[in-house]
């Protein structure tokens, strides 16, 4: 799906928009919009339908995510839809995969082991074991993982 999307918003308009008493949506094109909350928050959103259900994909918060930043993931989400995939589900799986990769490190596993096995040990033994892990094992294991 390589259709050209005509973007309506400008960086100046996004920066200068003020919140109203009601939430408002400023359309950028192809169901991408900036949701302006009455308290002042500005959120990039993409509304779409998947399996006859209306869904909204969050693409970031302004100003952390500028005007140009949500356009690429928006286009990617539109391509996923045209291929029959739910972009929200893809985002959830990607987030879960990143979380599992982060918690599956040696340091995370060792921390879990330490909290389970060291409960009944003396303070001096726990301190010494933790010092060995932090000083000797964690640095060498993280360095060996970089050479893969």
Q: What is the 3-state secondary structure (H, E, C) of 19-63?
A: CCCCCEEEEEECCEEEEECCCCCEEEEEEEEECCEEEEEEEEEEC
pLDDT of residue 113: 87
pLDDT of residue 4: 62
pLDDT of residue 1: 46
pLDDT of residue 147: 45
pLDDT of residue 141: 73
pLDDT of residue 100: 72
Which helix (H) or strand (E) covers residue 146, if one does? helix 138-146
Whose structure tokens read 């990039």?
A: 44
Query: Which class is 11-85 in CATH?
Result: alpha beta
Whole-angstrom distance, CA of residue 25 vs CA of residue 36: 6
Q: What is the mean pLDDT of each run of 10 residues along the chain (148 residues)?
A: 69 89 90 93 94 92 90 92 90 82 75 86 91 85 56
């Amino acid at each position: 799906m390589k259709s050209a999307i005509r973007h309506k918003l400008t960086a100046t308009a996004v920066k200068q928009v003020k919140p109203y008493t009601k939430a408002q949506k400023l359309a950028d094109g192809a169901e991408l919009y900036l949701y302006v909350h009455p308290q002042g928050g500005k959120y990039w959103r993409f509304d779409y339908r998947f399996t006859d259900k209306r869904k909204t994909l969050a693409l970031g918060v302004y100003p952390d995510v500028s005007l140009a930043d949500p356009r690429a993931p928006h286009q990617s989400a539109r391509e996923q839809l045209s291929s029959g995939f739910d972009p929200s589900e893809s985002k959830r799986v990607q987030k879960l995969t990143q979380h599992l990769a982060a918690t599956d490190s040696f340091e995370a596993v060792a921390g879990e082991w330490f909290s389970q096995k060291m409960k009944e040990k003396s303070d001096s033994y726990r301190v010494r074991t933790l010092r060995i892990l932090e000083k000797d094992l964690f640095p060498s294991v993280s360095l060996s993982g970089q050479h893969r």
